[in-house]
Structure 1
Amino acid sequence: MLAHSFSADIRSETLEAKIVQDADRLESLGANDLARTFYVSGLLGSVLFDSEDPFATERTLNDFEWALDHFQTKLLGLPGTMQTEEGRRMATCSARFLVIWMA
């Protein structure tokens, strides 16, 4: 099913497709994908964060260079892409956890 892919940017039409898309995105906000973010960043030779500006308040976000930037470039925006009310609720809760973890 292509409709659940984040990068394909295909709008889900059926309730089932919306639920699958939400589930896929919720998984991205979970502990496994948190670990995957750092694993992939390590494989790519990225640094965990910019020690002078870890939250990119004075620089452009770059999740290829800084692993922590991936939270702001993709993960924290996922609640706004959810297709169902319950998906938005769950994603918002998970995103709050990521923000607390980042701090």
Structure 2
Amino acid sequence: MNKELIIGQTVKYVKQTLAEAEGGHDWWHIHRVWKTAQLIAASEKADELVVALGALLHDIADSKFHNGDETIGPRKAREWLQSINVEEAVIQHVENIITHISFKGGNHQQPFRSVELDIVQDADRLDAIGAIGIARAFNYGGFKNRALYDPAIPANLKMSKDEYKNSKAPTINHFYEKLLLLKDRMNTETGRKLAQQRHEFMEHYLKQFYAEWDSNFIV
């Protein structure tokens, strides 16, 4: 296999496929995850092609935008990779990454593991926290017409997978139900180091948010 050609063709395919995607799940999200995965992989013993393809294709058909169908993403990735004659073992590994990468609520157990999944999952989770993570959360909340915050609706940390998928809670709740949990769920040492500063930024942001919400700040 010509790895550079496969990756180059896949980049072009993903750009075309996600040209009209929601801003938090568009090509630039994919690009950031891909580059961060490469950074993490430099400190791990991993299959670079699987990492690249897993990162590039991980959101090729996110279930959130396909009526909750979690099979369409792995299926589209397989169809694409078969069309460019990628080896079956690589295709299966990429399918497993796409199937198991997503955060599915606080109580979900992940049945498949590999170092390549660990790397891509860390890269994806890093893009969900920090300054960009905050921007993505509110962008998606606006896309779904969700409230910014409602003090009467507390965060729910005991949701099942289905409850998490179907939640319509305000965007601020998402910080407690997912974003603030990710720092301690990083798989790699590099992921943990990168997550720490982004986590602290979110904590500072929330303090500022509540201060402004309650008009409890000095002019």
Using the size of structure 1 for normalisation, the TM-score is: 0.74
Superposed displacement of residue 35, structure 1: 1.6
Identify the match of residue 13 of structure 1 among 113, 121, 127: 113
Q: Aligned to 1:48, which of 137, 148, 167?
A: 148
Greater percentage in helix: 2
**Displaced runs of 4+ in structure 1, greater than 6 A?**
none
Give 2:187's match in structure 1, choosing from 74, 83, 86. Answer: 83
More off after superposition, 69-78 vs 9-18: 9-18
In structure 2, stretches of 5+ residues that fail to align are 1-96, 157-166, 208-219
What is the match of residue 101 of structure 1? Answer: 205
Separation in structure 2 between the aligned mates of residue 12 and residue 89 of structure 1, nearest angstrom: 24
Cα separation, partners in 2 of 1:85 and 1:13, compared to 1, 3 Å? same
Greater Cα radius of gyration, structure 1 or 2: 2
Closer/same/farther in 2, CA of residues 11 and 23 from structure 1, 3 Å limit: farther
5+ residue gaps, structure 1:
none
Encode CA deviations 1:46-90: one digit per residue, 9 max, x unaligned: 22122xx3xx8xx52167232111111100000121111221222
- 2:155 pairs with 1:61: yes
- State the percentage of identical aligned residues: 35
Q: What CA distance in whole angstroms lies between the structure 2 residues aligned with 1:92 and 1:13?
A: 23
Determine which structure has greater relative contact order: mean sequence separation of CA pairs < 8 Å that are 6+ residues apart, divided by chain length. 1
Query: In 2, are the aligned partners of 1:4 and 1:12 still within 8 Å (CA)?
Result: no
SS at match of 1:28: coil
Q: Which of these residues, 129, 132, 135, is aligned with residue 29 of structure 1?
A: 129
What displacement does 1:39 show?
1.8
